[in-house]
Amino acid sequence: MERHFERELEVLKEQLLLMGGHAESIVLKAVEALRRRDETLAHAVFDDDRRLDRLEIDIEERCVRLLALQQPMARDLRFITAALKISNDLERVGDHAVNIAGSAVKLAAEPMLKPLVDIPRMAELASGMLHEALDAFVGRDADTARRLVRRDDEVDALNRQVFRELVSFMIEDPSTITHAMELVLVARNLERVADLATNVAEEVVFIAEARIIKHHADESAAGDEFGRS
């Protein structure tokens, strides 16, 4: 029984890593579709999102089964409840990628406003954060997780920069408004992906220390509350 439980937990970890890998790559793929104005690639994102949806259901079912049959205690219990929340976060990453791919489809027929630099950089950062957060989760590595929570600021700063730049484009040439608005929304979706990676990192600290940092972090960053988050 004990050994069976350990094996089931291993499978759960593997499924989460798999789902994390899909979440990382769907974000990069969506932004690549935008950058290359590639509608086919954008449609691949819609398919990938459905794969993430199915993985979430599988993980949820496994967690409920583990809770029901194994009645785990303390550390394992927290690990399983965290897994439930993390799979939900990763599923939302897919939704943001779908939004970005939708923008890619809309913009595919138009000339670029300018070569995209900051948006692909945001996608790399957010996707890298997802990777590290999942690694920290399976390794129960609270130190890495804590560093990640701070890295979210970098993505927020890029988001504000993209926003300001696009607003000046719009002011200079109102014919760019619809296009630029789309890119503002893309940047916001990426910023939300970084937030979701941060959520995962917070869960890691939670299960490692059975202590909730996220709202303390909010409090110490109270001066930021006017910033887009």
Least separation in angstroms between residue 9's CB and its own copies is: 16
Distances (CA, A) of 145 to 18, 130, 138, 141, 215: 19, 11, 11, 7, 15
CB atoms under 10 Å from CB of 164, counted, come to 10
Of the candidate residues 17, 28, 181, 221, the single one contacting its own copies (CB under 8 A): 181
Site string for its own copies, 131-170 (x = CB under 8 A): --------------------------------x---x--x
d(CA 189, CA 138): 26
The single-letter code of the amino acid at 121 is: R
Which distant-in-sequence residues (6+ apart) come within 8 Å of 225 by Cβ? Answer: none
Of the candidate residues 15, 99, 127, 198, the single one contacting its own copies (CB under 8 A): 99
Structure-block tokens of residue 37: 């104005």
Which residue stretch of 27-35, 97-105, 130-138, 147-155 sits at the interface with its own copies (rule: CB under 8 A)?
97-105
Whether 137 contacts 82, CB under 8 Å? yes
The binding site for its own copies (CB under 8 A) comprises 46, 50, 53-54, 56-57, 60, 63-64, 67-68, 71, 73-74, 77-78, 81, 84-85, 88, 95, 98-99, 102, 105-106, 163, 167, 170-171, 174-175, 177-178, 181, 184-185, 188, 212, 214-215, 218-219, 222, 225-229
